[in-house]
Amino acid sequence: MNLNLSGEIALVTGASRGIGQGVAVALGKAGAEIIGTATTSVGAKGITQNFKKQGICGEGVVLNIADSDATQAALERLGTKKPSILVNNAGITQDNLLVRMKDEEWDKVINTNLSGVYRLSKACLRAMMKARYGRIITISSIIGMTGNAGQSNYAAAKAGVIAFSKSLAKEVGSRGITVNVIAPGFIDTQMTHVLSEQQRTAILEHIPLGHIGEVDDVASAVVFLASKTASYITGETLHINGGMYMP
Ligand SMILES: NC(=O)c1ccc[n+]([C@@H]2O[C@H](COP(=O)([O-])OP(=O)(O)OC[C@H]3O[C@@H](n4cnc5c(N)ncnc54)[C@H](OP(=O)(O)O)[C@@H]3O)[C@@H](O)[C@H]2O)c1
């Protein structure tokens, strides 16, 4: 099994905390140079410092994936550094029942979680096609498969990235580029810290493995899909949820 990513450049969106931070570190430890993104310069500096501390080659950059111009500009600033691995990790929630949902809540989640994946994938694709090699891995969610009351915007975006990835996998397979999705269940990050004790207990009842997942459960799967070992896997969605949902 070859999980060595030396010589590769990986762009990880939302690397300032949570799953993205863990993914960035894991890819870096596997030998890749990492460009990790945050929405603020403080966040970007924190990423660079964390990489230094962990002995990882790479840096943090500022990027708002909800903004087309900013995405283009950020990619241009990378100059000759063309990512061979893209991890579309950044995502947000703006929960509300549909009857109460504001247009801004719908638009913000779709624009970040779905259109952001479109933007970044498109921006990185040309260089990957030229190199006839690439890995695009997008973090969806169990909610994109099951739906969830109060999360119609988030569920629509997370289901959307699965269909998007299957389509793109068909478009670029002949160029040696694989496009895959990871759909985590509940993972211990800031995003799930908002859950009440009652909600946590209710969730745990539905997880056969009996506990909430760790960032590393997702990060190690990203390293695998980014590696040469996963060369024949494309258009796939990997469910990492402790058995909570089995398609
Ligand atoms: N945690 C879970 O249980 C779980 C389960 C299923 C799926 N997921 C998915 O996994 C991904 C990571 O989740 P997480 O729990 O690690 O979230 P998190 O702790 O809330 O971190 C979110 C990351 O996304 C970045 N981000 C937010 N809006 C952005 C934007 N407009 N442009 C660029 N970056 C942006 C944040 O950057 P700043 O620090 O600059 O704000 C942060 O780095 C998300 O796509 C989420 O939907 C999470």
CA of 206 to the centre of ligand 1 (A): 23
How far is residue 212's CA from residue 192's CA, in Å, rounded to a whole number? 10
Kindly state the average pLDDT of the residues 126-145: 98
* Position 45, amino acid: K
Which structure tokens are listed for 224?
């695998």
Average pLDDT, the chain: 97
How far is residue 110's CA from residue 60's CA, in Å, rounded to a whole number? 25
Total-model pTM = 0.98
Residue 191 pLDDT level (bands cut at 50, 70, 90)? confident
* Position 191, amino acid: M
Residue of 12, 89, 119 to mutate, ligand 1, most atoms within 8 A of C-beta = 89
How far is residue 118's CA from residue 146's CA, in Å, rounded to a whole number? 22
Q: For residue 48, what are the contacts with CB-CB under 8 A and spacing of at least 6?
A: 58, 59, 60
Kindly state the average pLDDT of the residues 91-104: 98
Q: For residue 188, what are the contacts with CB-CB under 8 A and spacing of at least 6?
A: 212, 213, 214, 215
Q: What is the pLDDT of residues 4-54, one digit of tens each?
A: 999 999 999 999 999 999 999 999 999 999 999 999 999 999 999 999 999
CA of 171 to the centre of ligand 1 (A): 27
Which structure tokens are listed for 243?
């058995």
Catalytic residues: 154
What's the helix, strand, coil split of the chain in %, to 5?
50, 15, 35
Kindly state the average pLDDT of the residues 194-214: 94
Q: What is the pLDDT of residue 174?
A: 98
Residue 117 scores a pLDDT above 90: yes
Which structure tokens are listed for 8?
């590769």
Kindly state the average pLDDT of the residues 108-128: 98
In contact, 56 and 9? CB cutoff 8 Å: no
Residue 157 scores a pLDDT above 90: yes
Q: Which fold has domain 9-237?
A: Rossmann fold (3.40.50)
Residues with CB under 6 A from ligand 1: 13-14, 16-20, 37-40, 43, 63-66, 89-92, 112, 139, 141, 184, 186-187, 189-192
